[in-house]
Amino acid sequence: MKSNPRSMRMPRRRGLGIGLLAALCLVVAARADRLRNIAEAETIPDFTLASLDGQEVTAQSLRGKVVVLVVVSAEQTSSEKAQMAAHELRVQLRRDDLAVLMATADTTRLDYFRQFRDAAGVHEPLLLDHNRQLYGDLGVIVLPTTLVVDREGRLVKIIAGHRSDYPDMLSAHVRRALGMIDDAELERLLTTERFEHNRPLDRAERHRAAAALLRSKGLRVDAEKELRTALGIAPDQADILLDLAALKLAMKQVEDAAAIVNQVLTADPASRQGKLMHGIVLFHQSDYDAAEPVLREALLLNPDPARTHYYLGRIAEIRGDKDAAITHYRTATERLLEGNGI
């Protein structure tokens, strides 16, 4: 009996796909106020980066100042809010010994950054991390991530993401680093009503985090309950909706996932994560011809390059293009390891 070469390849492809996809899910679930490669009280790594305006900025040139460094993504609402809050704090404090900087690895999106910064009036230096060197040296997990660094270059606070208490938390830690308040006052500020984390978005984020943990343990039904609870609190939050869409795909409920992604893109056609999920849904609907251009657009938008390369590799392998599949799988693995600081 003549063997079928395609059927013989399938187990290997499925095994690789399962391993890569499991690793990708673990990375998505790893959300915390931390970095992979540096902890609070440690000295931040040296860097030399050019800004959007062409000025060179080094870690050494910032010594003697308290530094706020916001690592951001293009076309991400939370990154925009973090930049505006950091800018407003600098304007409010007006201190010569305070430097506020932004940094991004999305260096193919410079037109977006120029337009956003002009519209928002945010003109602090934007450092361009072309080779993702700073991103990797720090071991950034979540975007945006904000670092507060003291005058000696030591990291004193990490704020991952952008919650509703972000401006107050940033202000409190910057004032402490500047010596404007002492530890007792910092503790008092962080335990006032503003930091009770009982605001709707904060409650929703806690349920979202619980869902990620439950999903990582294989408890998909319980994870869905947590996401539904989160959506009951914040029904229009795209991040929560897309988490639910991804969970629906894992549960083989493809059409439900498609409806959720459509809801996100109807509300925000420019959503980078929404476009990526649209491509993934099309893949799971076996519409590879439609999925490929959507995924290639997502690759340019860069919301999750490891996941995007993984699905482009799946499409290439299904079409029998072994070399292209291997290239995509290798790139997905490299980006995954890079994101973990390995």
- What tens digit of pLDDT does each residue of 119-133 get? 999 999 999 999 899
Start-end of CATH 3.40.30.10 domains in the chain: 48-195
- Check residues 2 and 276 and name the one with the higher pLDDT: 276
Q: How far is CA 115 from the centre of its chain?
A: 21
Q: Between the CA of residue 312 and those of 45, 269, 290, 296, 306, what are the distances in Å?
A: 34, 22, 12, 8, 10
Q: Is 51 helix (H, G, I), strand (E, B) or coil?
A: strand
The single residue listed with the structure tokens 């492809």 is 13
What confidence score (pLDDT) does residue 38 get?
93
Mean pLDDT to the nearest integer, 190-205: 70
**Over the chain, what is the mean pLDDT?**
87
- Asked whether the whole model's pTM tops 0.75, one would answer no
Helix then strand count (H, E) for the chain reads 14, 7
Residues 124 and 148: beta-carbon distance below 8 Å = no
Distance CA 182, CA 299 (A): 46
Q: What pLDDT, on the 0 to 100 scale, is given for residue 6? A: 36
Predicted confidence (pLDDT) at residue 33 exceeds the cutoff of 60: yes
Q: What is the CATH number of domain 48-195?
A: 3.40.30.10
Give pLDDT, residue 196.
54
The structure tokens listed for 105 are 């690895």
For the chain, residues classed under CATH 1.25.40.10 are 15-31+199-339
What does R_g of the chain's alpha carbons equal in angstroms? 21
Distance, in Å, from the CA atom of 16 to the CA atom of 309, rounded to the nearest integer, reads 13
Contacts of 30 (CB under 8 A, 6+ apart): 141
Specify the higher pLDDT residue, 231 or 208.
231
- End-to-end CA, the chain: 46
CATH architecture of 15-31+199-339: Alpha Horseshoe (1.25)
Examine the pLDDT at 30 and tell me if it is beyond 60.
no
Q: What is the mean pLDDT of residues 12-20?
A: 50
Residues in Cβ contact with 139 at an 8 Å cutoff, skipping those fewer than 6 apart: 35, 36, 37, 38, 340, 341
* Mean pLDDT confidence for 57-84: 94
Give 145 or 200, the one with higher predicted confidence: 145
Burial of 102 (0-12, 13-18, 19+ CB in 10 A): buried
How confident is the model at residue 189, as a pLDDT? 86
